[in-house]
Amino acid sequence: MNFFEFAWSISPKLLRGSLISLELTVLAISIGFILGIPLSLGRVYGNKIIYTITTIYIEAFRGTPMLTQLFILYFGLPSIGIMFPPFTAAVIGLGLNSAAYQAEYFRGAIQAVKGGQMVAARSIGMSKIKAIRYIILPQMFRLVIPSWSNELILLLKASSIAYMIQVSELVSVGRQIASRNFRTFEVFLVIAFIYFVIVEILNRILHSVEKKIKIPGL
């Protein structure tokens, strides 16, 4: 079989693997989002204790490799009695990690919203929470889209690391196929191509979303 025929024949399996990768990515980024917002708010508006706790969390997850974090969750926790199946461990690991990065992006965006906005909100009688909810956050979401899109793509690529803890995502499937017919290089060429295409498509979509939601004039 020449390369293209080969590529065609393994595509179905590979595409199923990519679906797992995508699932992983979507779940992880959602966890990251839900966790990331309170984390970032804690860093910007919190008192000393909250600030310290959130900072420690963020620094820990950003300052250590993803692989190490996954290993701790999947290989490490069992030794104190907590066992996660591979997919769950991956989702948790990627999610917690993403939360740390998203928190920093949100924080940057919050700080980019001009200081006058908060003052103005308070001056018409809004409480801090209301001000954050109705004035700061809406603006922050629009500002953060470029970084957030970036994070989505990074997470997709990071999902490949889940291979190391035995999740059946794209790279894992690729290795399985290769172990049977030894055409590893070609398998990975196809995998590389798949990632490339998915990333390109995501980029385009996110870019046009960004354009549509932009605040006029900003």
Partner 1 sequence: MGTLISIELAIAFLGLGFVVGLPLAVGEVYGNKFVKNLTVLPIVEFFRSIPALVLLFLFYFGASSLNLNFSPFIAALLAMGFRSAAYQSQIFRGAIKSIDVGQMQAARSIGMSRFKAIRYIILPQALRISIPGWSNEYACVLKDTSLVYALGITELMRQGRYIVARTFGNAILVYVVCALIYFLVVHFGVKLLDFLEERYKIPGYEIKKVTTRA
108 is an interface residue for partner 1 by CB under 8 A: yes
Smallest distance, partner 1 to C-beta of residue 52, A: 16
Cβ(186)–Cβ(136) below 8 Å: no
24 is an interface residue for partner 1 by CB under 8 A: no
Residues 142-171 that bind partner 1 (CB under 8 A): 147, 150-151, 154, 157-161, 163-164, 171
78 is an interface residue for partner 1 by CB under 8 A: yes
Determine phi and psi for 215, rounding to 5 degrees: -75, 125
Interface stretch with partner 1, choices 47-55, 64-72, 120-128, 134-142 (CB under 8 A)? 64-72
Give Cα separations from 22 to 25, 50, 142 (angstroms).
Answer: 5, 33, 24
Q: Which is nearer to partner 1, 74 or 87 (CB)?
A: 74
Cβ(156)–Cβ(202) below 8 Å: yes
Q: How many amino acids of this chain bind partner 1 (CB under 8 A)? A: 46
Quick one: which of 68, 123, 127, 181 contacts partner 1 (CB under 8 A)? 68
Cβ(138)–Cβ(180) below 8 Å: no
Quick one: which of 71, 88, 141, 149 contacts partner 1 (CB under 8 A)? 71
Q: Which is nearer to partner 1, 126 or 189 (CB)?
A: 189
Q: Which residue has the tokens 């190490």?
A: 68
Q: Which is nearer to partner 1, 139 or 150 (CB)?
A: 150
Q: Considering only CA atoms, which of 57, 54, 80, 81 is closest in space to residue 69?
A: 57
Q: Considering only CA atoms, which of 108, 111, 85 is closest in space to residue 165?
A: 85
Give Cα separations from 56 to 41, 53, 175 (angstroms).
Answer: 14, 5, 37
Q: Which residue has the tokens 């508006």?
A: 45
Residues 180-199 that bind partner 1 (CB under 8 A): 184-186, 188-189, 191-192, 195-196, 199
Give me the residues that bind partner 1 (CB under 8 A), please.
59-60, 62-69, 71-72, 75-80, 101, 104, 108, 147, 150-151, 154, 157-161, 163-164, 171, 174, 178, 184-186, 188-189, 191-192, 195-196, 199-200
